[in-house]
Amino acid sequence: MTESFRKSVNKELEALRTEGRLRVLPETGKRSKASIESGGRCLLNLSSNDYLGIGDEEQLRSEYLLAFNPENNGDRFCMTSSSSRLLTGNHRLYGELEERLAAWYGREAALVFNSGYHANTGILPALSTRHDLILCDKLSHASIIDGCRIADAAFKRYRHLDYSHLEELLDGAHAKYRQVFIVTESVFSMDGDLADLQKLCELRQRYGAFLIVDEAHGAGTFGSEGKGLCEETGLTGSIDIIVGTFGKAFASAGAYGVMDGMIRDYLVNTMRPLIFTTALPPVILGWSMQVLEHQRTMGEKRCNLHFLAGRLRKALEKKGMQTAGESQIVPVIMGGNQKTVRASAVLQKAGFLALPVRPPTVPENTARIRFSLRADIGWEDICGIPEILHQVSENGEQAGNNNVAVQQINSFQ
């Protein structure tokens, strides 16, 4: 590399460090129930997306591993596919899983992807052309934004949850393009707030739009069977493509989309992240089928999850903290980067792993602690958090020495 390039990279890293934005890869270890080993200590894990606690269910995992019988179904436990789906990687479990997903949602077809990022960076570029327009909620996940940018279509962002603004864009554009695509998250990952799916479906119908809803944080956490916010609102049949992930509440790996059969066939032939990616290992596909069935019975856990989230929000607001959302994701807006990093450190001293989220992931001056709650904990496990954050906000660095923090450390060791 040239010396000028080296200096430029170093300068940017130093700027990130000065601004409190420098990221490092945190090393984690053993997981047990709702706890995780980090920095040599066992902490309550409030930064994963294992919303139902399935990933820490040792009995479920043991049952899956004990089912291994090389003579009968050894291919089910193959650790690699070594090929794309269009070559030799399309194991029979792909078909079984996709059939189950389609039947579960009451839709014509489903397609399994390697990840939610693959889905979101592949679907729109495959479906749209330069004769089309994509309209995207401004706070949609980075993977959705990347997919919009990769696509050849024109791309505009409507103000977050502002459906009057979306309708203005639709009204002025729908006759100018071959197809207008609307894309949104259902549960927004950074604020934990919810899209108005009813309104979006009305606009889809009125303007002939193609609606894509990413249920990454809704699948497993909303709906009586865990199909997401689309199930909760009774709209699973009114959305063109529903994207879900196995890597969050379902505690596996990969993602999926449910859709019409024609759209599935078209994606198989045009979606580059599907065509040119090594397929998922069969052992993952089998696990996804098992956890998919298991979570359907976890309605009570979902109720507990939302009860905890509501109670935590109220307690934080009572302490004067700024929060947002109406889901299992509870952000606490701290503002500055350094203050947010300090708050996370204090929480870790108190036994909680709750990591900071900073720009550019979120807008400037809205750095936050993002609590990803879990259905396998109780209020008594997290009731000390509002007071800890209140003291951080009031007293700065001195908050790390408060009695509440010491009590919480003792209770989670």
In eight-state DSSP terms, residue 84 is B
Closest CA to 264 of 249, 246, 242: 242
Residue 57 lies in a domain: no
Match 């954050």 to its residue by tokens: 389
Ordered strands of the 241-245 beta sheet: 109-113, 255-259, 241-245, 210-214, 180-185, 133-137, 154-158
CA–CA gap between residue 299 and residue 252 (Å, rounded): 19
CA–CA gap between residue 14 and residue 20 (Å, rounded): 10
Q: Where are the alpha helices (DSSP H) in 259-298?
A: 261-270, 272-275, 282-295
* Amino acid in the structure at residue 170: L
Instruction: Answer yes or no: are the C-beta atoms of 316 and 332 closer than 8 Å.
Output: yes
Residues 155 and 289 in one domain: yes
For residue 66, what are its two tokens?
């004990």
pLDDT, tens only, 39-88 = 788 999 999 999 999 998 989 998 888 876 665 566 777 888 899 999 99
Match 């939302």 to its residue by tokens: 306
CA–CA gap between residue 19 and residue 14 (Å, rounded): 9
In eight-state DSSP terms, residue 321 is -
CA–CA gap between residue 154 and residue 137 (Å, rounded): 15
Count of beta carbons in the 10 Å neighbourhood of residue 404:
16
Instruction: Answer yes or no: are the C-beta atoms of 248 and 217 closer than 8 Å.
Output: yes
Q: Phi and psi dihedrals of 365, rounded to 5?
A: 65, 20
Instruction: Answer yes or no: are the C-beta atoms of 155 and 149 closer than 8 Å.
Output: yes
Q: Residue 130 belongs to what domain range?
A: 64-295
Residues 272 and 328 in one domain: no
pLDDT, tens only, 139-180 = 999 999 999 999 999 999 999 999 999 999 999 887 899 999
Residues 345 and 406 in one domain: yes
Residues 289 and 310 in one domain: no
For residue 2, what are its two tokens?
């040239």
Residues 97 and 79 in one domain: yes
Ordered strands of the 35-38 beta sheet: 28-32, 35-38, 41-45, 352-353
Residues 318 and 375 in one domain: yes
**Residue 206, helix vs strand vs coil:** helix
Q: What is the CATH number of the domain that holds 338?
A: 3.90.1150.10
Instruction: Answer yes or no: are the C-beta atoms of 90 and 268 closer than 8 Å.
Output: no
CA–CA gap between residue 92 and residue 73 (Å, rounded): 12
pLDDT, tens only, 378-398 = 999 999 999 999 999 887 544
Among 256, 274, 295, identify where a domain stops: 295
* Amino acid in the structure at residue 254: G
Q: Where are the alpha helices (DSSP H) in 208-336?
A: 229-232, 261-270, 272-275, 282-295, 299-318
| Percent helix / strand / coil, the chain, rounded to 5 | 45, 20, 35
Residue 135 lies in a domain: yes
Among 295, 317, 335, identify where a domain stops: 295
Residues 401 and 328 in one domain: yes
Rounded to the nearest integer, the mean pLDDT of the chain is: 91
244: part of which helix (H) or strand (E)?
strand 241-245
Residue 323 lies in a domain: yes
Q: What is the CATH number of the domain that holds 193?
A: 3.40.640.10
Match 């549960």 to its residue by tokens: 187
Closest CA to 374 of 221, 187, 192: 221
CA–CA gap between residue 212 and residue 129 (Å, rounded): 16
Residue 59 lies in a domain: no
Residue 13 lies in a domain: no
How many domains does one find in the chain? Answer: 2
pTM, to two decimals: 0.91
Residue 10 lies in a domain: no
pLDDT tens-place values along the chain, 413 residues long? 999 999 999 999 999 998 888 888 878 777 778 888 887 889 999 999 999 999 989 899 988 888 766 655 667 778 888 999 999 999 999 999 999 999 999 999 999 999 999 999 999 999 999 999 999 999 999 999 999 999 999 999 999 999 999 999 999 887 899 999 999 999 999 999 999 999 999 999 999 999 999 999 999 999 999 999 999 999 999 999 999 999 999 999 999 999 999 999 999 999 999 999 999 999 999 999 999 999 999 999 999 999 999 999 999 999 999 999 999 999 999 999 999 999 999 999 999 999 999 998 898 999 999 999 999 999 999 999 999 999 998 875 444 444 443 333 233 22
Residues 228 and 108 in one domain: yes
Residues 322 and 269 in one domain: no
Residue 5 lies in a domain: no
CA–CA gap between residue 206 and residue 147 (Å, rounded): 25
Q: Is the peptide bond before 125 cis (omega within 30 degrees of 0)?
A: no
Among 236, 263, 295, identify where a domain stops: 295
Residue 268 class from Cβ within 10 Å (0-12 exposed, 13-18 middle, 19+ buried)? middle
Residues 270 and 133 in one domain: yes
Residues 122 and 144 in one domain: yes
Residue 3 lies in a domain: no
Residues 44 and 127 in one domain: no
